[in-house]
Structure 1
Amino acid sequence: MTAPSFDRLRRHPLIAGVALFNAFGAASGAIGLITGWLSLGDKVTDRLPWGSPVIAGVALGVIVALPNTALAIAAMFRGARCGPLSILAGTLLICWIIVQLAFIREFSFFQPFYTVIGLAQIWMGVRVLRERS
């Protein structure tokens, strides 16, 4: 199977928009955790790995912000990896929520919201792969 030619690839503005939204939110949260601007409170901070919001912030940046940034770039600039990146970013986002619930054991409306967004990213990625077949 050969890679699709650039002429057959198209931009995916919806995927790019969702990815930019996720990347911005995750990067903002990561920066807030790393700098101490965003406080989780003593109870939740104690539940983080090594009790470190810095490690949590770095993990958020690496696991959620970076893949979504890569996806946004691929979606805006006709990247051939847009479909697989969308599936990966959505899967990582859902995994982040699951791990977050396991560690902090606190519920927020953000968790179901971002779970739905992750599922939507997976769905959009599958659609991109199917349209290229």
Structure 2
Amino acid sequence: MSRLDWHSDTRRHAWLASFTGLIAILAYAGAVAVATGVLGPGVEARLPFESPVFAGVALAVVVGVPMTVVTTLGLRGDARTSAAAVVAGALLIAWIAVEVGFVRTYSWLQPVFAFAGVAVLHTGLQGLRGVRR
């Protein structure tokens, strides 16, 4: 690996760690909001098992934990960062798709986070392609 490649990888990991760290924090905050019923009346009936607590825990596990893993790996400069980013990005995109398709809740945040998932996934794929060269 040339010095230029190392510098590019380090910048990618720093960017990815910062971005996924923010997503993780927002996912955990959202999980608390969902679990405590901040969503408002009428939403509970559309949640799995009609349980805000289950939905909050699911959000933390499906989105928060994978993004936290990417953040941790990225901060360490771990070679697995890109692969973890692909998984975390795909899970975020899937979460938004399920939320729209099955739970039928709509918010301006959904396209924002779908785009964030695409950005994380894309960055992970770019990192994996760089490893194969």
Report the TM-score when normalising by structure 2. Answer: 0.87
Q: Which stretch of structure 1 is more off in the superposition, 92-101 or 103-112? A: 103-112
Query: Which residue does 1:104 correspond to in 2?
Result: 103
In the alignment, the residues of structure 2 paired with residue 110 and residue 64 of structure 1 have an alpha-carbon distance, to the nearest angstrom, of: 14
Query: Which residue does 1:49 correspond to in 2?
Result: 48
> What are the Cα deviations for residues 11-57 of structure 1, in whole angstroms up to 9, with x where unaligned?
311101110011000011112223x1x52222211100111100000
> What are the Cα deviations for residues 56-114 of structure 1, in whole angstroms up to 9, with x where unaligned?
00000100000000000111101111111110010000000011112331221111101
Is contact 2:63–2:92 with CA below 8 Å preserved after alignment? Answer: yes
In the alignment, the residues of structure 1 paired with residue 103 and residue 17 of structure 2 have an alpha-carbon distance, to the nearest angstrom, of: 30
Partner secondary structure for residue 43 of structure 1:
coil
Unpaired segments of 5 or more residues in structure 1?
none
Unpaired segments of 5 or more residues in structure 2?
none
Q: Which amino acid in 1 is paired with 2:86? A: I
In the alignment, the residues of structure 1 paired with residue 74 and residue 82 of structure 2 have an alpha-carbon distance, to the nearest angstrom, of: 9
Q: Across the two proteins, how many residue pairs are aligned to each other?
A: 125
Query: Which residue does 1:16 correspond to in 2?
Result: 17
In the alignment, the residues of structure 1 paired with residue 99 and residue 89 of structure 2 have an alpha-carbon distance, to the nearest angstrom, of: 15
Partner secondary structure for residue 69 of structure 2:
helix
Flag the structure with higher helix content.
Answer: 2
The residue correspondences of 1:85-124 to structure 2 (distance < 5 A) are 85-124=84-123
Is contact 2:63–2:91 with CA below 8 Å preserved after alignment? Answer: yes
The residue correspondences of 1:58-97 to structure 2 (distance < 5 A) are 58-97=57-96
In the alignment, the residues of structure 1 paired with residue 95 and residue 73 of structure 2 have an alpha-carbon distance, to the nearest angstrom, of: 22
Cα RMSD after superposing both structures: 1.7
In the alignment, the residues of structure 2 paired with residue 50 and residue 81 of structure 1 have an alpha-carbon distance, to the nearest angstrom, of: 35
In the alignment, the residues of structure 1 paired with residue 70 and residue 84 of structure 2 have an alpha-carbon distance, to the nearest angstrom, of: 6
In the alignment, the residues of structure 1 paired with residue 28 and residue 17 of structure 2 have an alpha-carbon distance, to the nearest angstrom, of: 16
Report the TM-score when normalising by structure 1. Answer: 0.87
Q: Which amino acid in 2 is paired with 1:20? A: G
